[in-house]
Amino acid sequence: MEKRNIAIHYFVFRSIDELADADRSLLEKAEEASRNAYTPYSGFSVGAAVLLDNEEIITANNQENASYPQGLCAERTALFYAMAQHPNRKVKAIAVYGYHRKHKLKGCVSPCGGCRQVMLECEQRGKEKMRILLSGYSGEITVIEGVEQLLPLQFSGDFLCDIQ
């Protein structure tokens, strides 16, 4: 038996002002999108902004449902819509902003496992690392270069077939 370790790497910026203009504006779009989230059940509103390789930005937010599992996270709503409209574009980056109606979020919003898996698929379709920007009430921004850092030991289509 052998113990193996995995280290993940990410960058933390103290405020949005420390970011490059393009990152800042993507995060602002995510924040804007979070205001249109439909979250009567959780009160937790999330916005996502997806940057494509033609510089187009697609935004979306979480959409909840009285039948809870039928709702969808902001990240997946945005990525699925982006890929549905632009199947041949690469996703260069995704920015995510979240806030709770009643409580202050301590750190940055962190994508759920399902969204990480969908991010991975988008990254593999684009064959380029996706940049992931996470933010929240606290003002701190987490920047992650590539889905591998969010989802180590990942399950991918490679296990199923040869995707080109």
The answer to whether 22 contacts ligand THU (rule: CB under 6 A) is no
Residue 141 binds ligand THU (CB under 6 A): no
The one among 19, 26, 39, 97 contacting ligand THU by CB under 6 A:
39
CB 134 within 8 A of CB 141: yes
75 is catalytic: yes
The dihedral formed by the CA atoms of 71, 32, 112 and 67, expressed in degrees to the nearest 10: -10
130 binds ligand THU (CB under 6 A): no
Contacts of 66 (CB under 8 A, 6+ apart): 41
| Site for ligand THU contains 52 (CB under 6 A) | no
CB of 128 to ligand THU, least distance (A): 22
Residue 72 per-residue DSSP state: B
- Does 46 bind ligand THU (CB under 6 A)? Our answer is yes
Within 107-126, which residues bind ligand THU (CB under 6 A)?
A: 109, 111-112, 115
Q: What is the dihedral of CA 98, 101, 106, 110, to 10 degrees?
A: -30
- The span of 19-27, 73-81, 137-145, 146-154 binding ligand THU (CB under 6 A) equals 73-81
Report the 10 Å Cβ neighbour count for 54.
10
Which token pair is 101? 């109606």
Beta bridge partners of 141: 13, 135
Asked if 74 interacts with ligand THU (CB under 6 A), we say: yes
Active-site residues: which are they?
Answer: 75
Residues contributing to the site for ligand THU (CB under 6 A): 39, 42, 44, 46, 62, 64, 71, 73-75, 96, 109, 111-112, 115
